[in-house]
Amino acid sequence: MMMYRLLSNDMPRSRWLTGLLVVLVLALALTPFIFPGVKALNVAAKVMVFIVLVASFDLLLGYTGIVSFAHTMFFGIGAYGIAVATTRMGPTWEALAVGLGGALVLSFVLALVVGLFSLRVRAIFFAMITLAVASAFLTLASQLHEITGGEDGLTFKVPEVLSPSFEFSDEPFLGVSIDGRLLCYYLLFVTAVVLFLALLRIVNSPFGRVLQAIRENEFRAEAIGYRVVVYRTTSAILSALFATLAGAMLALWLRYNGPDTSLSFEIMMDVLLIVVIGGMGTMYGSIIGAALFLVAQSYLQDLLRLASDGASALPWLSALLSPDRWLLWLGVLFVLSVYYFPTGVVGRLRASSFGK
Amino acid sequence: MKSMDFDWKPLALVPLLALLMVPLIGSSSTWITLTVAGLAMGMIIFVIASGLTLVFGLMDVLNFGHGVFIALGAFVATSVLGAMSDWTNSDVLWRNLVAVFPAMLVAMAVAGAVGLAFERFIVRPVYGQHLKQILITMGGMIIGEELIKVVWGPAQIALPLPEGMRGSLFLGDAAIEKYRLMAVAVGLGVFLTLTWVLGRTKIGLLIRAGVQDREMVESLGYRIKRLFIGVFVVGSALAGLGGVMWGLYQQTVTPQMGAQVNVLIFIVIIVGGLGSTGGALIGALLVGLMANYTGFLAPKVALFSNIALMVGVLLWRPQGVYPVANR
């Protein structure tokens, strides 16, 4: 069947999960028509960018079993590639191509060097070295003011067809004006779908099986005859390239990029949280996790504000529940989910459907 | 470690790096100032990193949350020193020392106590699982940082040096800040104590044996878990002490300082060889010197120079300068 081929024979394997996924994908596809307003559209676009970003991280963490803290670095390289190229060369398609191509090459080289260097010694070095390289890169990006715009970042124009001022027709369709913004949204949607299916294809290929074998037992995989270093490094490079593409998607949508939007350590934490909550080693977890997390991000802050006001009689409790401290509760949630739900939402849903 | 087969080559790296930089920097007085600053910074980093490297060596636990104890120590010091402002504002050195010494002790005690809880609730459930350890301790770091913000507020706090410790000594034209000399002294004290405990006491013997072959020590009837808890607590307390020193060195403390220093510490323990105290000292001195020299020569690439240093060392010795057996 067509569907099997598209999903690389890796079905959701749970009725609830399938239902949830269908609802989410439909909601993303129809957001411009069913949720009016700029904010909903922005959230939906961000969800799509994060689905690709998190899925690419899952390839590394969930399927290969190595932790990288430089994933936002590649995300940032993609975003900066678009931003710098369009600032320099004007809002043309060539600029986008040059920016994206340059970013992909840079990510490839960086991932290759870091991967070969640290994965050759021992996998645990990879976590520490990526952390060091990523923070050096962040410092560099905020200091090279002439190229990256420093802390202020870069605001740029995209090709006119994709900008909100470009109208395809004067007549609104189903109450939505058909403009460049809508085209840009669907460009992102199609890109996200294609990239996600490509990642699903990768993890279900023979190559992906080897990665999972390495994750389960490195020594045995090596003994069977697979070069562990080569497979791990390839996985790191692929994951970096997909993250770069996600970064380019983000830049295209926001028409702005700065250190805080794509490079910061907070985004790295968000990605880690989404992978763990959604379910490590299940590509579908990235869809569920990204949607849940980005919606909860604003919702949790509102909830905390209510709780904080409610607890105003106890100052210390109120301080603990203040909306500024939402990261604290996310951290607690993160630790608890690593302990009790290591397979995340997807793993839970699958387990409950097998139990029946 | 007999003196006969002592491996001196890594030790020679430190003066080598310092001498190589002389022509690049030019002025000899600037060089002396930078070198002393680098040594002081290296000593502080060593105090912090020594605990982490021991914890890794003994139990194979990579604690990404080590940075929390640095920030915790520094913030405790702001409270203690703030409460003793009579003593810190005096310009008599011994009165300042009376203020700083308890600040350090309290910071170590608090960091050690929190370390005990951290070990129990964060680290213990995930022994032997590297992936989960990295994730969990990272989560612990976030929680700790946020709790610090709850107690002391999210803003940065000034941690001024006590009056008597400010100012510089002059060696010819070269200015050497007094506090840096004190930092070197404290760091040396910690190093000598650690060397003595590890090399000359029963507990040290067990720790070294545990680093080399944990199962063998266990099968001889020693409770290595208890030993490990002790090492973890001492490591956290040392990070707290290092935090006080780092805070006084920077003269401001922020809740994020732990994460910033963490990056340097990882470089240090990779350079030194995971689990090796002597290696951590050499790694810390190299990193401290490198940071100060490049901070003067090319500030934008300061952090990259330390990564380059690490790459260079690993190309020479892939397991760090002093590889620990069996790891």
For residue A353, give Cα distances in angstroms to A4, A288, B130. 20, 17, 30
pLDDT, tens digit, 9 for 90 and up, residues A239-264: 999 999 999 999 999 988 888 888 88
Do residues A60 and A239 make contact, with C-beta atoms less than 8 angstroms apart? yes
Residue A317: the pLDDT is 74
Whether the per-residue pLDDT at B326 is higher than 50: the answer is no
pLDDT digits (tens, 9 = 90+) for B219-235: 999 888 888 899 999 99
Give the DSSP H/E element, type plus range, for residue A281. Answer: none
**Quick check: B263 contacting A, CB < 8 Å?**
yes
Q: pLDDT value at position A322?
A: 73
Compute CA A126 distance to the chain's CA centroid, rounded to the nearest angstrom: 20
Q: Which of A102-116, A190-204, B290-304 has the lowest mean pLDDT?
A: B290-304
Cα separation, A11 vs A19, whole angstroms: 12
Cβ of A325 under 8 Å from any chain B Cβ?
A: yes
Report whether B69 contacts B114 (CB < 8 A): yes
Answer yes or no: do A331 and B146 touch at CB < 8 A.
yes
Across the interface, whether the CB atoms of B300 and A144 are under 8 A apart is answered yes
* pLDDT at site B93: 73
Chain B partners within 8 Å of A338 (Cβ): 126, 132, 135-136, 139
With bands split at pLDDT 50, 70 and 90, how would you rate the model's confidence at A77?
very high
Residue B69 pLDDT > 90: yes
Residues of A in contact with B314 (CB under 8 A): 117, 121
- pLDDT, mean over chain A: 86
Residue A127 and residue B62: Cβ atoms within 8 Å? yes
Which chain A positions have a beta carbon within 8 Å of B123's beta carbon?
none
Q: What is the pLDDT of residues A78-92, one digit of tens each?
A: 999 999 999 888 888
Q: Is the pLDDT of residue B42 over 90?
A: yes
Whether A132 and B149 lie within 8 Å, measured CB to CB: no
The full set of domain ranges for chain B reads: 33-316
Nearest by CB to residue B303, choosing from A124, A135, A276, is A135
Query: Among residues of chain B, what percentage have pLDDT more than 90?
Result: 26
Predicted pLDDT at A189 = 95
> Would you call B314 an interface residue with chain A, using a CB distance cutoff of 8 Å?
yes
What is the number of CB-based contacts under 8 A between chain A and chain B? 97
Q: Residues B230-271: pLDDT tens digits?
A: 999 999 999 999 999 999 888 889 988 888 888 889 899 888
The answer to whether residue B303 neighbours chain A at the CB level (below 8 Å) is yes
Task: Please check whether residue A259 is in contact with residue A135, taking contact to mean a CB–CB distance below 8 angstroms.
Answer: no
Q: Is B33-316 assigned to CATH 3.90.920? A: no
On whether any CB of chain A is under 8 Å from the CB of B134, the answer is yes
What is the mean pLDDT of the segment spanning A100-123?
88
Residue B171 forms beta bridges with which residues? B174
Domains and CATH numbers, chain A: 2-355 (1.10.3470)
State the nearest Cα–Cα gap between B307 and chain A, in angstroms: 7
Contact criterion met (CB < 8 Å) for A125 and B270:
yes
At A153 the three-state DSSP class reads coil
Whether residue A136 and residue B303 make contact (CB cut-off 8 A), yes or no, is yes
**pLDDT of amino acid A356:** 45
Q: What is the DSSP string of B148-183?
A: HHHHH-SS-EE-PPPGGG-SEEEETTEEEEHHHHHH
pLDDT at site B325 = 53
Short-list B219, B82, B63, CA closest to B152: B82
Give the Cβ contact number of residue A278 at 10 Å: 30
Q: CB–CB of A148/B300 below 8 Å?
A: no
